[in-house]
Structure 1
Amino acid sequence: MPINFTTPVGLVRLNITDLDENAPLLSDDMITGLLVASDENVNRATARALRIIATSEVLVAKKIRTQDLSSDGPAVSAELRAQADEYDGRADTEDGEASFAGYVAPGCRVGLEAEEARRWPW
């Protein structure tokens, strides 16, 4: 079945480039679990997925050098973790923008007077 990139699961899959429909890195159930654990935030779920893949890369690939072939699992893992940090940063920015609407400057309190909200220092 084709991947639906308009759903949260599909967006996470797109972000982590898990695009092989026949052999996905993570199952839909795993990604759904990551979304639940991330409060349905696609960027946070993406970061968690990248960290899972990075850990797997370190455990499985390791650093190998034989004849003309070399594999550097730790370097790949470091890059995946850096990408995960970027997605966490995006999620932090989104969280900050969402909470800014209710922001009250330090040293001020919000009070109701005559059915109007106004701010004044205490």
Structure 2
Amino acid sequence: MAVDFTTPLGQVRLLLNDVDEDAFVFTDNEINAFLALERGRVKRAAAQAIDSQATNEALALKVLKDHQVQTDGAKLADAMRRHADSLRKQAREDEDADDDGFFFDVVDIVGGNGRPPELTEHPQGWC
């Protein structure tokens, strides 16, 4: 079954470059868990998955040298984490662009002493 890149799960797979259906790195359940942790935000879920994979790579590869072949898990993990950070930055920018600029805070107009604010009408006896 082909990956459906129009779904959040497929989009996370695309960002992870986890598209080889014969050898997925993450199961659908794992990606759905990342999506749940990040409240359905695709780029943030992909960043979490990359961070998880980076930790696994750093632990598994460490620094190995065999004849002419050398691996460095820490460098690979660092590059993966920079990619995850980039996705989080993009997610923040997307979220800021989606913000319509309208927001407000609820303010307690009575105050701590139980008196209304100055210059408001109030019942007799308040000074």
Q: Which TM-score bucket, shorter chain as reference?
A: 0.7 to 0.9
- Cα separation, 1, equivalents of 2:62 and 2:47: 21
Kindly indicate which of the two structures has a greater share of residues assigned to strand: 1
Structure 1 position 97, deviation (Å): 2.1
The answer for the alignment partner of 1:71 in structure 2 is: 71
Alignment of 1:38-77 (within 5 A): 38-77=38-77
The answer for the alignment partner of 1:102 in structure 2 is: 102
CA displacement 1:18-77 (0-9 Å, x = unmatched): 111012100011101101111100010010011011001001111111211111111111
Q: Structure 2 unaligned runs (5+)?
A: 108-127
Secondary structure of 1:20's aligned partner = coil
Q: Flag as ranges the 4+ runs of structure 1 deviating above 3 A.
A: none
Structure 1 position 103, deviation (Å): 4.3
Secondary structure of 1:65's aligned partner = strand
Alignment of 1:72-87 (within 5 A): 72-87=72-87
The residue identity in structure 2 corresponding to 1:36 is A
Max Rg structure: 2
Q: Between Structure 1 and Structure 2, how many residues are aligned?
A: 105
The answer for the alignment partner of 1:37 in structure 2 is: 37
The answer for the alignment partner of 1:5 in structure 2 is: 5
Q: Structure 1 unaligned runs (5+)?
A: 110-122
- Cα separation, 2, equivalents of 1:49 and 1:15: 10
Identity of aligned residues (%): 30
CA displacement 1:85-110 (0-9 Å, x = unmatched): 00000111122223343146xxxx9x
Secondary structure of 2:99's aligned partner = helix
The answer for the alignment partner of 2:93 in structure 1 is: 93
Tell me how large the CA RMSD over aligned residues is: 1.5
TM-score, normalised with respect to structure 2: 0.77
